[in-house]
């Protein structure tokens, strides 16, 4: 019988090892990447993140680079190959169960994390985990408990999943588990992939929070979320009726609390609107998220009373939708306290809007304001300057209706 050959001393294997080392030798460069910025901000905010993307898109590679950039030890746990007891703990009978109870022993990876005191826990292939395992993950994701152990504050949790259509024996994510994550859609950037394969990947860093802005950031976040939910109470909790959508982001008191935290972190860090949009929509869903972003835009709009007090110095927003909102707010303010001076000031504001923006934006406010006139109020001269714009707009609307009626015959 021939003796086994020790290939580890083979010179060709040594050369192969050197070649593999050269292939792994890559560098990083500062580069704007909204996906990485959103992921890093959520990690800084200590919120569980779930990356959704097709197989091979680079989710695992992104997490590996993130751990290296933040100098955090990475612990990868493939959820689908574990039993529920691996997350809830294995019962261990002690000397006297009647008095000491039966403790739940944690797995070795959890013990290592606790000993390290810091790290990045990566739950991979979450969408292939059966319902029983997903149920066992609830305490881990929300309470950071594994058996009798509590993970220290220095541990961050990130998960990855493939859509059910491309997952091996995939399951829909259960609503309770889905509602505990910030969901980010992970797609590849052609330039990033090409640069990375060439040996240079984008560099990840934690967001730089401005200490002076922390109280302001918290106040702004609370005002934004509470303002929307006060006006739209139906958005506080809305469980989707579709099973697939239940496995994604949707609004609940828990996810609104996560959203508030993300807005505070984004405000303190001066994060871009695009990154904030990804995070907000990934926490409460597209519809509620876009409503929140729109209401946040309106929070920075000028007070109608300030505009009415000095119309000549008024600065109106450039964006058409925000300008329309401001003009509507001015008219509503006059409706709430109808006085001759306020009525005249509102007309002066509409003339200013006509001079500095599209004329069609003043049509509806002008018509509404005109209907508020009292019998003893003289028609202001400013109304003559608006009459042409209103007339042209109405004729355009009538022509559009006539054309539509003609096409319907």
CATH number of the structural domain spanning residue 173: 3.40.50.300
Count of domains for the chain: 3
Signed CA dihedral, 184, 190, 193, 195: sign only? negative
Q: Do the Cβ atoms of 387 and 347 come closer than 8 Å?
A: no
Helix, strand, or coil here: 183? Answer: strand
Domain end among 148, 167, 202: 202
Signed CA dihedral, 100, 103, 108, 112: sign only? negative
DSSP state of 24: H
Residue 403 within any structural domain of the chain: yes
Residue 231 within any structural domain of the chain: yes
The Cα angle at residue 300 between residues 298 and 304, in degrees rounded to 5: 75
Residue 74 has a pLDDT of 92
Residue 200 has a pLDDT of 85
Residue 187 and residue 225 in one domain: no
Residue 279 and residue 326 in one domain: no
Residue 401 within any structural domain of the chain: yes
Ramachandran class of 340: left when φ > 0, alpha when ψ lies in -120 to 50, beta otherwise: alpha
**Maximal C-alpha separation, the chain:** 117
Domain end among 202, 223, 240: 202
CA distance 166 to 128: 10
Residue 218 has a pLDDT of 96
Residue 264 within any structural domain of the chain: yes
Q: Is pTM, for the whole model, over 0.85?
A: no
Residue 280 and residue 311 in one domain: no
Residue 65 and residue 198 in one domain: yes
Residue 134 and residue 252 in one domain: no
Residue 27 within any structural domain of the chain: no
Residue 57 within any structural domain of the chain: yes
Residue 259 and residue 357 in one domain: no
- DSSP character string of 256-274: HHHHHHHHHHHHHHT--HH
Residue 289 and residue 308 in one domain: no
CA distances from 180 to 137, 261, 288 (A): 10, 14, 17
Residue 4 within any structural domain of the chain: no
Q: Do the Cβ atoms of 360 and 393 come closer than 8 Å?
A: yes
Residues sharing a CB contact under 8 Å with residue 57, sequence separation 6 or more, in sequence order: 186, 187, 188
Residue 13 within any structural domain of the chain: no
Residue 281 and residue 389 in one domain: no
Helices assigned H by DSSP within 270-362: 273-284, 286-299, 304-309, 320-336, 340-356
Residue 392 has a pLDDT of 45
Domain that holds residue 394: 304-408
Q: How many CB atoms lie within 10 A of CB 372?
A: 14
The residues facing 27 across adjacent strands are 200
- DSSP character string of 86-124: HHH-EE---S-HHHH---EEPPHHHHHHHHHSEEEEEEE
Residue 65 and residue 164 in one domain: yes
Can you point out the beta strands (E) in 238-306? none
Domain end among 202, 233, 250: 202
In angstroms, the first-to-last Cα distance of the chain is 94
The Cα angle at residue 257 between residues 65 and 177, in degrees rounded to 5: 65
Residue 327 and residue 277 in one domain: no
pLDDT tens across the length of the chain (409 residues): 454 545 556 788 889 989 999 988 888 888 788 899 999 999 999 999 999 988 888 888 888 888 888 889 999 999 888 888 888 877 776 666 666 666 777 888 888 999 999 999 999 988 888 888 898 899 899 889 888 889 998 999 999 998 866 655 667 889 999 999 999 999 888 888 888 888 888 877 888 999 999 999 999 999 999 988 987 889 999 999 888 889 999 999 999 999 999 999 999 999 999 999 999 999 999 999 999 998 888 777 888 888 999 988 888 888 888 888 889 889 998 998 999 999 889 998 988 888 888 888 888 888 888 888 888 888 777 676 676 655 544 544 454 555 556 555 5
Residue 196 and residue 121 in one domain: yes
Residue 274 and residue 316 in one domain: no
């Amino acid at each position: 019988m021939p003796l086994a050959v020790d290939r580890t001393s083979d010179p060709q294997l040594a050369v192969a090892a050197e070649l593999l080392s050269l292939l792994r030798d890559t560098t990083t460069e500062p580069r704007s990447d909204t996906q990485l910025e959103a992921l890093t901000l959520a990690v800084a905010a200590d919120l569980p993140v779930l990356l959704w993307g097709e197989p091979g898109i680079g989710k695992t590679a992104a997490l590996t680079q993130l751990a290296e950039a933040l100098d955090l030890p990475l612990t990868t746990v493939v959820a689908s190959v574990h039993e529920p007891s691996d997350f809830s703990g294995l019962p261990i009978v002690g000397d006297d169960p009647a008095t000491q109870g039966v403790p739940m022993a944690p797995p070795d990876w959890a013990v290592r994390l606790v000993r390290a005191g810091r790290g990045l826990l990566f739950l991979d292939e979450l969408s292939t985990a059966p319902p029983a395992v997903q149920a066992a993950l609830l305490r881990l994701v929300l309470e950071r408990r594994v058996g009798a152990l509590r993970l220290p504050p220095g541990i961050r949790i990130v998960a990855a999943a493939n859509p059910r259509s491309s997952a091996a024996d995939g399951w829909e994510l259960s609503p309770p588990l889905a509602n505990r994550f910030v969901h980010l859609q992970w797609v590849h950037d052609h330039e990033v992939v090409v640069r990375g394969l060439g040996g240079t990947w984008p560099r990840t860093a934690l967001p730089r929070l401005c200490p002076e802005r922390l109280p302001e950031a918290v106040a702004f976040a609370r005002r934004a979320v509470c303002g929307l939910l006060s006006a739209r109470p139906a958005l506080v909790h809305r469980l989707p009726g579709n099973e697939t959508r239940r496995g994604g982001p949707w609004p609940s008191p828990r996810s609104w609390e996560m959203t508030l935290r993300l807005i505070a972190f984004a405000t303190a860090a001066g994060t871009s609107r695009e990154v904030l949009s990804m995070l907000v929509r990934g926490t409460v869903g597209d519809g509620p998220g876009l409503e929140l972003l729109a209401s946040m835009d309106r929070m920075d709009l000028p007070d109608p009373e300030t505009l009415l007090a000095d119309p000549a110095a008024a600065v109106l927003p450039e964006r058409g939708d925000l300008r329309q909102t401001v003009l509507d707010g001015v008219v509503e303010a006059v409706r709430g306290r109808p006085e001759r001076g306020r009525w005249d000031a509102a007309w002066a504001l509409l003339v200013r809007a006509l001079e500095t923006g599209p004329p069609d934006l003043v049509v509806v406010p002008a018509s509404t304001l005109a209907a508020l006139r009292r019998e003893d109020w003289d028609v202001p001269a400013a109304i003559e300057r608006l009459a042409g714009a209103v007339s042209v707009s109405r004729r355009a609307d009538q022509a559009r209706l006539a054309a539509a009626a003609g096409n319907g015959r």
